[in-house]
Amino acid sequence: MRAFPNVLLNAFERQVLFILLLVISLFGPKTFAENSPGRIKIVTSVFPLMEFAGAVVGERGEVSLLLPPGAEIHTWQPRPSDIVRLSSADLFVYIGGDMEPWLNDILASVRNPSLKTLEASHGISLIKIGTTGKFDLQAHKREHEHGAVDPHIWLDFQNDQVIVDRIAAVLSEMDPAGVSDFKKNASAYKKRLQTLDDTYTKSLKGCVHKVFILGGHAAFGYLARRYGLQQVSLYGLSPDSQPTPKKLIEVVELAKKYKVKVIFFESYMSDKLANLLAREVKARIMVLNPGANLSKEELKSGVTFFDIMERNLENLKDGLICR
Ligand SMILES: [Zn+2]
């Protein structure tokens, strides 16, 4: 169960927020759109969408991330200031499929009738929980999960190309003068995604191990499906509850059975359990980063989606012994 009452504003609070927004719009700093007429202001929920939208919109707009750096997408709770930010945006791109449990509440609170929204998971072949194979230990806990599908769609670079096209299409509707730019930008970015996909396919074809064990949550279902691997994770689709001791034992047994040499863990989660697991099965630990968000330092240094995915591939090749 998740609790997200923060954005459920009562009538009075909505009134106060509305007045606040009115004051900001009248006396506050001018919005980007007012400063640069015609430029599209895009807000996205996760980092990959920010990079995709930024690549497609190019000079004709600007993109920002709704979540603050380092925030965990599944467990984050929007504050009134986030609602204010969405209220001055032109386009909001989000994943859907329960990636953003706060989505309906925040959209209901935003007073911005001209805000366009794009649900990135629409039209993507989604993985249903419990259908990823016999290693899906989450299946029996399904009833406790919030959603019925895996929302980490950006970890399949074919999906990303579909998303890039859809972003280009909605931007073309919003800014018809930019159609040829959006088309050109989208096709250049899709080429890079295809190259990344080809590299993954080639690199992960001949791995000694096909099973990878995550000391984190089950974020890599799409990657596993696309490249013929099997994901085993300590947590479910969201890292918001501690795994049970029984679960830990199950994962340890699988790790031993498949003689894994590496336990993968996520950058923004505690590596305590991953370390425990690694000690238990005498394995090393390595990072596998879903890339939903970046740290402040990473954002500053300009880390890209490709940087994260290339590093993941290096660690997968190392951990799964791929030649
Ligand atoms: Zn996740």
Rounded distance from Cα 59 to ligand 1 centre (Å): 30
- For residue 290, the CA-to-ligand 1 centroid distance in Å is 7
Q: What is the pLDDT at residue 20?
A: 58
1 Cα to the center of ligand 1, angstroms: 16
Q: How far are the Cα atoms of 134, 156, 248, 287, 321 from residue 211, in angstroms, in the given order?
A: 11, 17, 16, 16, 11
Structure confidence at residue 73 (pLDDT): 85
**What's the gap in Å between 121 CA and the centre of ligand 1?**
14
pLDDT tens digits for range 159-218: 999 999 999 999 999 999 999 999 999 999 999 999 999 999 999 999 999 999 999 889
Could you tell me what percent of the chain has a pLDDT over 70? 83
Least trusted range by pLDDT, from 5-19, 149-163, 251-265: 5-19
Please name the residue that has the structure tokens 């032109």. Answer: 90
- List, by residue range, all CATH 3.40.50.1980 domains of the chain: 5-127+149-195, 199-319
Q: Where are the alpha helices (DSSP H) in 148-213?
A: 157-174, 179-203
| 237 C-alpha to ligand 1 centroid (Å) | 6
Give the global pTM: 0.84
Statement: residue 138 has pLDDT above 90: no
At the top level of CATH, which class does the domain 5-127+149-195 belong to? alpha beta
Distance 232 CA to ligand 1 centre (A): 14
Question: pLDDT digit string (tens) for 16-31?
Answer: 665 655 555 444 444 3
CA of 89 to the centre of ligand 1 (A): 25
Centre of ligand 1 from the C-alpha of residue 56, in Å: 24
CA 63/CA 42 separation, integer angstroms:
5
Res 240: pLDDT: 72
Give residue 35 CA to ligand 1 midpoint distance, Å: 36
CA distance linking residue 111 with residue 240, whole number of Å? 30
| 49 pLDDT above the threshold of 80 | yes
Mean pLDDT of 103-120: 93
**pLDDT tens-digit profile of 223-243?**
999 999 999 998 888 877 778
Residue 67 corresponds to which amino acid?
A: L
Superfamily of domain 199-319: Nitrogenase molybdenum iron protein domain (3.40.50.1980)
